[in-house]
Amino acid sequence: MIDTVNVKGITIGEGRPKLIVPIAESMQSNVLEKARELSTRKDVDVVELRLDPLDSVADTLSIARLTSQVYDIIASKVLLVTFRTKPEGGKKAIADADYCALYQQILTYGKTDLLDIEMFRNQVLVHKLVAHAHEIGVGIVMSSHDFEQTPPQEEMIRRLRLQQEMGADVLKIAAMPKNAGDVLALMNATWEMHSKYAKKPLLTMSMGGTGVVSRLTGELTGSALAFGMVGQSSAPGQVEAHNLHQVLDIIHQASAS
């Protein structure tokens, strides 16, 4: 039985996979403009605010205030705040202590519904962030990204199970395929995790053009969320949000018939 995540009337973990669209701008003014655009989109369920592309990311109090502004602008949509580190495909490298300090500032002075925490950061700091977030009602997306390869199926399941043990509310893994077999391995790992071990919703994807099918078939395999794009993509293989929403709806309606 999956413990769904319920935020602002949006239920993650049942029904059609919920659609996430990232904001990945370098200037705060552009972030706010993009937030206003996404706030009017009926096909967007979750807005991801990516912090690592921002020029001003070192000013942690300013970033915390920015999360509050975006939170207020998108209103009824779920806000996911993410600093994607360079080793996992992000724009900037950051020390674990600075990563934790930034997130603590956001949890103390900002606003968000969900916070993405990379599972392989310093474990003591990760534990503190998870505890702080849960104390104030913020959900955790625990994540692992491999832009070089697709780990063996057993390793992907191991990571997802470990994320669950670490207190995640959503379990995330993204991997780069070398061929169609890698895509199927990720989809099989998702289904095995979902059907045997998962108590929390999953967010999995095979990246790049080769892996695009994994973004479309989450309702079949058990992935509860899917990334689409409006304008600039934040990862290889993202599909335009309107088109992705249509496909997710088609599969959902066919599955229910």
Catalytic status, residue 245: no
φ, ψ at 82 (rounded to 5°): -140, 130
Residue (of 203, 220, 127, 214) closest to 177 by Cα position = 214
Q: Which of 34, 111, 172, 194 is catalytic?
A: 172
CA 191 to chain centre: 18
**Sequence-separated (6 or more) residues with CB below 8 Å from residue 143:** 88, 116, 117, 118, 119, 163, 172, 173, 174
Question: Which amino acid would we find at residue 78?
Answer: V
Q: Is 134 a catalytic residue?
A: no
- Out of 111, 145, 194, 245, the active site residue is 145
Separation of alpha carbons 129 and 239, rounded Å:
31
The residues near 95 (Cβ < 8 Å, ≥ 6 apart) are none
3-class SS of residue 194: helix
Q: For tokens 């904001």, what's the residue?
A: 23
Give CA angle at 248 (84, 157), nearest 5°: 50
Distances (CA, A) of 197 to 15, 139, 156, 163, 202: 19, 20, 13, 12, 11
Please identify every residue annotated as catalytic: 145, 172
